[in-house]
Amino acid sequence: MTNYEPITQAEFAKKSWQPNSNFFFASKDIVCPLGASELPRAMMSIPLAFICNDGEYSVAGILGLVPGFNFYLTTSGKWSGKYVPASYRGYPFILANNGKNKEELILCIDTDSDLLIDGDSAEPFFDNDGQLSPITESVMEFLSSVASGYKASDRICKVLLEHDLFTPWELELNLDVGPKRIAGLFCINEAAFKGLSDEAHAELRLAGAVPVIYCQLLSMQNISSLVQIAKAKSKLDLAAQSEELNLDGVSSDGNISFDNF
């Protein structure tokens, strides 16, 4: 459960916060957004894919193949992968659009997090002059760079779409309960990419799309690790844990779809 509220001096001057020490807040995430600058590191351990919402594509890291289970978390809330997505490293903070000016981003905090402290026993939000404290300011600068990475990813995805380089990446898991089809993911159409004209390749290079293409293609080998974990988890009695599952991405036939993420 998250409840993000803008950080204002009126509301937070007498409160403080402490750094996050676990990733339980992401325990049910099976996808996460990734910025273009993250991909060279993320591709080493996380399968990268494209997700389409309302005709717009974005880059995502695939964290699980069973709804409600982030495979990269240990039972103690530690991250088991080699790369932690930038948005998770910024928790309990996010940057959100200002309702009046969508180009303006404002710093928000998850007020349901136990990292928010009444009083000044932890890190202050503001200094004595009413300005963001240096450490809070550094968080905002970090999240600003993350937001810039998302914008770069979105811009590159538009270029990839213009060149018709997306193709469905459908997976089928042979689980103990039977085969399960996973749909809603897209990958780069490698044959289409190789068949582009020199002019089109030049356009992709100028747009910064070529590194994204190769990162996505190379990362696909990481899906095998998630498949093995999914098979192991299929042996659990998931029905007994149904109250904890997020089933938004499961169709009526039990197959898994990323169309709603």
The pLDDT assigned to 182 comes to 84
- How far, in Å, CA of 60 to CA of 48, rounded? 6
The pLDDT assigned to 51 comes to 96
Number of domains in the chain: 1
Give, in order, the Cα–Cα distances in Å from 181 to each of 153, 177, 189, 239, 249. Answer: 27, 12, 20, 19, 12
> Which residue would you say has higher pLDDT here, 85 or 101?
85
The pLDDT assigned to 249 comes to 43
Can you give the pTM of this predicted structure?
A: 0.85
Mean pLDDT of 96-111: 82
The model's pLDDT over 13-39, given as tens digits with 9 standing for 90+, comes to 999 999 999 999 999 999 999 999 999
The pLDDT assigned to 207 comes to 97
- How far, in Å, CA of 174 to CA of 244, rounded? 23
- Cβ atoms of residues 65 and 173 within 8 Å: yes
* Domain extent for 11: 4-257
The pLDDT assigned to 242 comes to 34
| Alpha helices by DSSP H, the chain | 9-12, 39-42, 86-89, 134-162, 190-194, 198-206, 209-219, 223-233
The pLDDT assigned to 203 comes to 97
Residue with tokens 């080699």: 82
The pLDDT assigned to 252 comes to 40
- How far, in Å, CA of 128 to CA of 236, rounded? 53
Assess whether pLDDT exceeds 70 at residue 184. yes
pLDDT averaged over the chain?
A: 87
